[in-house]
Amino acid sequence: MMKEKLEKIKEEALRKVREVSDSDALNEIRVAYLGKKGELTAVLKSMKEVAEADRPKMGQLVNDTRSAIEEVLDQAKQKIEEAVMSERLKKESIDVTLPAKKLPMGHRHPNTIALEEVERIFIGLGYEVVSGPEIEKDYYNFEALNIPADHPAKDEQDTFYINGDILLRTQTSSVQIHEMEKGRLPIRMIAPGRVFRSDEVDATHSPCFHQIEGLVVDKQVSFSDLKGTLTSFAKELFGEETKTKFRPHHFPFTEPSAEMDVSCFKCGGSGCRFCKGSGWIEILGCGMVHPRVLEMRGIDPEEYVGFAFGVGLERIALLKYEIDDMRLLYENDQRFLNQF
């Protein structure tokens, strides 16, 4: 009787184990058959009804049954755990052939692109890129550049003064003086940087903008070097077919001075909206360094000659990318910046 019962329990347990596939269900079976209130325990409890002589045999039988059930439970448990693990590994595996998620990429500012282009050109010509302070003494921004005390550029309306002697530089020309002060000759440098003027913001003005200063000081430098250098710069920047024209002008720190125009890269010189019908676009100021500027820095103007130029960076960016309002360069509107 008891033997059959045990057989039945075992069979039932084994069948149930075969049917389940998760460890919770497996645990339930373990509890139901082997637990304190489980089927086998109940059988053990009924031992007292067994004749004493049969008890050891029956006891053995119960133990065998328990071991058999335990064994299949353990096997099933191991199998389930292996399956769970392999499922997990499959899920967690990384497919290295999948394309990576695209990170949102920033864009270079048109000013930056234009500056890097200008730097590339001049580095190619053997120039060094240097920088100078944005807060300057009157001396570096004006006096040493041969700008007399009563010059209109010094008017409070144009210059941001911090006090009577200290100001925000209105031009990168101040870096010329710092370079000459270093006492290393020859000089072949460009100096990009921010400049400040108390101008109202409009389509062509901003109180803070950027210039790129250029300075060469060497023993045999002539106006034709200046023209050749700036013409090849213009051709690299705006295209090989670009022509240049030098118009006489006046700057206190250069003599002679000129402004350089480039043939309109939009219409090629025939006249269009872009060049306001003239066929030419003004892009920079330049000239031979005034002997007095060299002299003030202790450079003998009989031995050394120099040429200098100053370009507005925004002007180049606006021209190159055909942007018609300077304010776009400062507003950081992503819809604008994303186009570059």
Residues in contact with ligand DAH by CB under 6 A are: 171, 173, 213, 251, 254, 285-287, 308-310
Closest CB 339 distance from ligand DAH, rounded Å: 29
Closest CB 258 distance from ligand DAH, rounded Å: 8
Closest CB 295 distance from ligand DAH, rounded Å: 17
- Residue placing its CB nearer to ligand DAH in the complex, 211 or 242: 211
Closest CB 338 distance from ligand DAH, rounded Å: 32
Residue type, 168: L
User: Which pair of structure tokens corresponds to residue 163?
Assistant: 């006090």
Closest CB 287 distance from ligand DAH, rounded Å: 4
- Residue placing its CB nearer to ligand DAH in the complex, 70 or 199: 199
- Residue placing its CB nearer to ligand DAH in the complex, 38 or 287: 287
Q: Which residue is nearest to ligand DAH (CB)?
A: 310
- One DSSP character per residue, 72-138 reads HHHHHHHHHHHHHHHHHHHHH---TTSPPPPPPPP---HHHHHHHHHHHHHHHTTPEE----SEEEH
- Nearest Cα neighbor of 321 from 107, 106, 110 is 110
- Residue placing its CB nearer to ligand DAH in the complex, 65 or 159: 159
- Residue placing its CB nearer to ligand DAH in the complex, 146 or 171: 171
Distance of alpha carbon 10 from alpha carbon 12, whole angstroms:
5
- Nearest Cα neighbor of 174 from 193, 155, 158, 161 is 193
Distance of alpha carbon 238 from alpha carbon 233, whole angstroms:
9
Report DSSP state, residue 278. S
